[in-house]
Amino acid sequence: MKRNLVLLLLCSLTAMPVQAETSEPSQPAGLPAEVITVTSASLTEQLNAVGVLQANEAVMVSPEQNGRVSDILFSEGQKIEAGTPLFQLDSALYDAALAQARARARLSELEYQRASSLLEKRVGSRTEHDTRLAQLRVDQAEVALAQTQLDKMTVRAPFSGTLGLRQVSPGDFVTSGQPLVELTDLSTLKVEFSIPERHLQQLQTGQPLSLIIDALGADAFAGEIYAIAPSANPTSHNIRVRARVPNPDGVLRPGLFARIQVETARHEQALVVPEQALILQGNQTLVMQLNADNQAELTPVTTGLRRFGEVQILSGLAPGAVVVTAGHLKLRPGMPVTPVFADAPDEDADA
């Protein structure tokens, strides 16, 4: 009898915990899905174009008169200032012509002074006086002409810049217009590019831009638009734009390929989500966000700018909304979700 009571008591004690566990209602487990928290960020609108760097000024220095090269006054690759003598041509004939013109002018000046003295004493005529004065002016003009021709036998730099490789040697006879050496101004470079005509209203002179030169790495160079063509190309409907790029260190070179970015607008408090968060249904764009109970809801949104895998949300979401970025296919509206935050900090890394 006692043995039966002990067995009955043990069975009752064993069954009590099982009865307590089965008495709680079971909760459905939510499907895991990757989510992000929508936050505001700075977003810029920009135009992208390509162009080729050009020298600010580039010219092939040439003589204005014929002559033999008597001296070369520079080194190849040298940086020079405007007006620096570069070539000296043989000027013996022009030296003699100037001396002759000065002698004639001196004689005319003496004759004019004599005529003026006689006129003051009323023993000379006004006609003789005026004739001597006119001859003096002619001879003085001849002196100026001879001086100019002599000066042009020295070939000078028209602007400051860097000299290239010379094309002649001392003793060569050169003619007017013959290329002697290239002169390039590299202190500032120009870049020309084209944009579609629909973007014309977004550009203006003085607007900053940035350039990335692939040959020089990922560093960006700053520039500024200084000219916009007054008309569009009737075939391509593009408009040419020119910008200046400072080059104080001489790193940039004409002919380099440049990728150009022009910032046209900035949105400081823009809401952005990853592109993979968007769901397209016909003409409607939706995102799947989680409500306060972590249940999936489809929300229509209006999109704006797209850049680097992100999309601007103009309406439909508020800052702090939790949006599904992966796992849409297995979710339906109203289903519970176990959120896995893609933008959560890495606990292992913090430890």
pLDDT in tens, 248-260: 888 899 999 999 9
**Span 267-274, mean pLDDT?**
81
Please state, in angstroms and rounded to a whole number, the distance separating the CA atoms of residues 219 and 14: 75
182 is written with which tokens?
């290239």
SS3 label, residue 344? coil
Mean pLDDT of 58-83: 95
Residues 6+ apart with CB under 8 A from 288: 277, 279, 296, 297, 298, 299, 323, 324, 328, 331
The domain limits of the chain are 31-43+268-344, 47-56+185-265, 65-88+154-179, 91-152
For position 6, what pLDDT does the model report? 40
Task: Give the pLDDT band of residue 21 (cuts 50, 70, 90).
Answer: very low
DSSP state of 316: S
Query: What is the predicted pLDDT for the residue at 348?
Result: 47
pLDDT given at position 33: 82
Q: What is residue 158's DSSP assignment?
A: S
Q: What is the pTM of this model?
A: 0.62
pLDDT score of 222 more than 90: yes
Q: Residue 244 and residue 187: Cα distance in Å, rounded?
A: 10
pLDDT digits (tens, 9 = 90+) for 141-179: 999 999 999 999 999 999 999 999 999 999 999 999 999
Query: What percent of the chain is modeled with pLDDT above 90?
Result: 47
HSE at residue 116, side-chain half, CA atoms within 13 A, is 10
Q: Give the class (CATH, top level) of 65-88+154-179.
A: mainly beta
Above 50 in pLDDT, residue 130? yes
CB 162 within 8 A of CB 78: yes
Name which CATH class applies to 47-56+185-265.
mainly beta
The second-level CATH assignment, the architecture, of 31-43+268-344 is Beta Barrel (2.40)
Half-sphere exposure of 245 (CA within 13 A, CB side): 30
Average pLDDT over residues 93-109: 95
* pLDDT value for 29: 59
Q: What is the pLDDT of residue 164?
A: 93
Q: Does domain 91-152 sit in CATH 1.10.287?
A: yes
Which pLDDT score, from 0 to 100, does residue 317 have? 85
Confidence of residue 308 (pLDDT cuts 50, 70, 90): confident
Does 17 have pLDDT greater than 50? no
pLDDT band at residue 292 under the 50/70/90 scheme:
confident
pLDDT value of residue 68: 96
Which positions ≥6 away from 171 have C-beta within 8 Å?
68, 69
